[in-house]
Amino acid sequence: MVGRRKPIHWIAIGAIVALTAVAFGSWQTHERRLIARAGIPPVPDLSRWPAGFAREVQRASEAVLSEPDSIEPLARLAAVYHANVYNAEAAQALDALHRLEPKNPRWVYLLADLRLRAGESDAATQALRETLELDPGNLPAWFRLARELATRGEIDAARACYARAVEAAPQDVLAAYFQIAFEAAHGDRSEARHRLTELVQANPGFPQLHASLAELHFQSGDLEHAGQERLLAATTDRELKQPDPWVDELAGLSYDIHRLSVLADEAIRARRLGVAEKLLTRAILIAPFEASLWGQLESVHRRAGRPEHALRWSEVAVALIPDDPGLHAEQSALLCELGRPQEAIERAQSALQRWPENAGLHEVLGVALGITGQPEAAAAALREAIRLDPTRVDALFNLGISLHELGQHEAARAAAQQALSIRPDYLDALALLASLALKSADSAAAESAVIRILTLSPRADARGLVATLAPYLRFEPENADAYLLLGEVLRDAGRLAEARAIFQQGLLMSRQNGRADQAARFRQALERSRDTNRNLSGSR
């Protein structure tokens, strides 16, 4: 009988322990659900938002209640609020997520983002530090912490952050660049210049890096290398990515079309055209009748070298928003780009029936007419555009081209000069002015324009100059005099290398054209430029 009592007791004890464990587990689950529920903020008045946003918030809030054991609904709710700048609501949800998953750096990092937005520097710094304790390899967190500390004047601490970022990702170009840029601003500039030179040599083709190096060279008085780096900055296009994935993905949940548009603009400037396309597509889905978004999307496709895609989108836009003259003008411009100027003319003329006072339509009509070899009609259309809107500097330039083709060189010069009075660094207008001056043997005007082109043009050498002038000054036998003059202008301005390059090209072309007389003149000019060089060398 004693033996029979023992097992019963132990079974009872075991059952009780099991029940205790179950009770404890239930209690924990219950606590977690309480935390999750506490993370649901009261839904604010969303009556002014697109209906989709209100539905999204409602759905996410209900999902937290109906799926109490899953973290995803609360994460979604936090993201939706965060993306649409409901910072307090987002913070409430993120607080709960952080309590539920204290080891997940994402939640505390997003909280840091909110604190930074609110200007709560201490709280933001604390949150960033906590993120980095959980995730020491988080580069965006290191960068943001460093920037915040630098803003607060804590330079040594900021420096340490950049060092840790480089340590965490020694191959990361951005980390290295940020560290060097920081040192250039707060430390040893010559050392920064040296390190940046090495970085650029190891990683060429990033415009940002070349531009920064150009600036450092310039500040140290090394103008030659500064010029070289500026040229590279203008002629390279590798993207220096600055990913911040947890924040970047919020854009896809934004219902603020203006914000989406601005983010798209930033992405376009950073040459992240895929990102820009996604943002704009989302914005258009939210606000399909906002013409400016369609224009932006077309611009993305044009920059991506897909004008035919741009045209397709343009056709959709015009069908959806037929009353926006700007969309019609853009469509005509695209047709010109695609080599369909006759269609461009028809579209522009049709739109002008409705909007006869629209300067943009007149301008694109003028451009299209010019392409189809109708300079007189082109000039008339462009004059009308300028009459309606005198600030249309491109119309002024194109008018100059048409007048040049009509042989009205004085008027062409006046149009180019008017364009330059509005935009003094308008390279094409300068080139037109230079070619007109060269053709009319006006060496003073030619020198002024040519030197300005060389100063402004990223390809600041003879080849670049010729490339810039080529559309207006094709090397043909009848332009030989102009080319000779160009070379002489450069020689007199002390640009001997460029001058010789022009003369050599002239000599080559003359021989190819069988023009011995012109070849002789270029040969003589070459000799004179060599003599000039010898004289200058002798006088030093």
Partner 1 sequence: MENRNTDPVRNARASRPARLTVAALLTVTAFGILLCVSLWKTPPPPVLSEERVPSAPTLSYRPEAIGLAPAGRPIVTHVAIGDLDQDGLLDVLVTDAATNRVGWIRQFPRGVFTEFTIGDPVRAPAHVSLADVDQDGRMDVLVASMGVLDPNNDRIGQVVALENLGNDRFRNRILLENTARVTDVRGVDLNADGRTDLAVGQFGYSEGEIRWLEGLGEWKFRDHLLLERSGTIMTPVADYDRDGKPDIAALVSQEWEEVHLFRNLGGGEFRDSVLWKSDNEAWNSSGIDSCDVNGDTMPDLIYSNGDGFETGFAGPAPWHGLQWLENLGAGRFRYHRIGDMPGCYSPTCADLDGDGDVDIVTVSAFNQVNDASSVWMTAWLNDGRQNFSEVPLAHEPTRLISVAAGDLDGNGVPVLVTGGLHATPPYILMSRVTLWRRQ
- For the bound state, the minimum distance from the C-beta of residue 488 to partner 1, rounded and expressed in Å, comes to 32
Cα torsion 257, 309, 336, 450: sign: positive
The answer to whether residue 427 forms part of the interface with partner 1 (CB under 8 A) is no
Q: Check binding of 20 to partner 1 (CB under 8 A).
A: yes
Query: Which C-beta is closer to partner 1: that of 218 or that of 306?
Result: 218
Q: Which stretch binds partner 1 (CB under 8 A): 350-358, 369-377, 389-397, 525-533?
A: 389-397
Looking at residue 160, the DSSP 8-state letter turns out to be H
**Is 48 near partner 1 (CB under 8 A)?**
yes
Closest CA to 280 of 271, 290, 270: 290
**Kind and range of the H or E element at 261?**
helix 257-269
Comparison of 13 and 470: residue with beta carbon closer to partner 1: 13
Closer CB to partner 1, residue 123 or residue 496?
A: 123
Q: How far apart are CA 507 and CA 509, in angstroms?
A: 6
> Any contact of residue 429 with partner 1 (CB under 8 A)?
no
Measured at the CA of 403, the angle between CA 399 and CA 407, to 5 degrees, comes to 170
Q: Which residues contact 382 (CB under 8 A, 6 or more apart)?
A: 362, 363, 366, 367, 395, 396, 398, 399, 402
User: Does residue 424 interact with partner 1 by CB under 8 A?
Assistant: yes
Among 51, 52, 55, 58, binds partner 1 (CB under 8 A): 58
Burial class of 35 by CB neighbour count within 10 A (0 to 12, 13 to 18, 19+): middle
CA–CA dist 383, 403 (Å, integer): 11
Asked if 78 and 41 touch (Cβ cutoff 8 Å), the reply is: no
Residue 24 near partner 1 by CB under 8 A? yes
HSE of 98, CA atoms in CB hemisphere, 13 A: 18
- For the window 87-126, what string marks contact with partner 1 as x by the rule CB under 8 A? x-----------------------------xxxx------
Q: Closer CB to partner 1, residue 164 or residue 452? A: 452
Residue 37 engages partner 1 in binding (rule: CB under 8 A)? yes
Stretch that binds partner 1, among 1-9, 347-355, 512-520, 530-538 (CB under 8 A): 1-9
Residues in 277-336 that interact with partner 1 by CB under 8 A: 287, 290
For the bound state, the minimum distance from the C-beta of residue 207 to partner 1, rounded and expressed in Å, comes to 18
At residue 420, what are phi and psi to the nearest 5 degrees? Answer: -70, -25
Confirm if 395 and 385 have CB atoms less than 8 A apart: yes
- Whole-angstrom Cα distance, residue 5 to residue 8? 5
Give the C-alpha separation, 539 to 533, whole Å: 10
State the CB neighbour count (10 A cutoff) for residue 128: 28
Residue 224, interface with partner 1 (CB under 8 A)?
A: no
Helix residue spans in 169-202 (DSSP H): 173-186, 189-202
Asked if 512 touches partner 1 (CB under 8 A), the answer is no
Helices 325-337 and 291-303 meet at what angle, rounded to 10? 10
Q: Please identify which residue in the block is written with the tokens 């995803």.
A: 72
Euclidean distance between the first and final Cα of the chain, in Å? 124
47 binds partner 1 (CB under 8 A): yes
Is residue 27 part of the contact set for partner 1 (CB under 8 A)?
Answer: yes
Contact residue for partner 1 among 190, 220, 235, 421 (CB under 8 A): 421
- Total site size for partner 1, rule CB under 8 A: 61
Determine, following the binding rule CB under 8 A, whether residue 67 of this chain makes contact with partner 1.
Answer: no
| Distance, CA of 190 to CA of 317 (rounded, Å) | 53
- Work out whether 70 is an interface residue with partner 1 (CB under 8 A): no
Residues 117-176 that bind partner 1 (CB under 8 A): 117-120
Minimum CB–partner distance for residue 30 and partner 1 (Å)? 5
- Rule CB under 8 A: say whether 45 interacts with partner 1: yes
The DSSP result for 411-442, as a single string, is: HHHHHHHHHHHH-TT-HHHHHHHHHHHHHTT-
Select from 3, 4, 42, 319 the one that contacts partner 1 (CB under 8 A): 42
Residues 390-419 that bind partner 1 (CB under 8 A): 390-391, 393
- A 10 A CB-CB count for 135 gives 17
Q: Per CB under 8 A, which region of 184-192, 375-383, 386-394, 456-464 contacts partner 1?
A: 386-394
Question: Counting contacts by CB under 8 A, is residue 6 touching partner 1?
Answer: yes
- Tell whether residue 38 is a contact of partner 1 (CB under 8 A): yes
Residues 232-271 that bind partner 1 (CB under 8 A): 255-259, 261-263, 265
**Binding residues for partner 1 (CB under 8 A):** 2, 5-6, 9-10, 12-13, 16-17, 19-20, 23-24, 26-27, 30-31, 34, 37-38, 40, 42-49, 53, 58, 61-62, 65, 84-87, 117-120, 255-259, 261-263, 265, 287, 290, 389-391, 393, 421-424
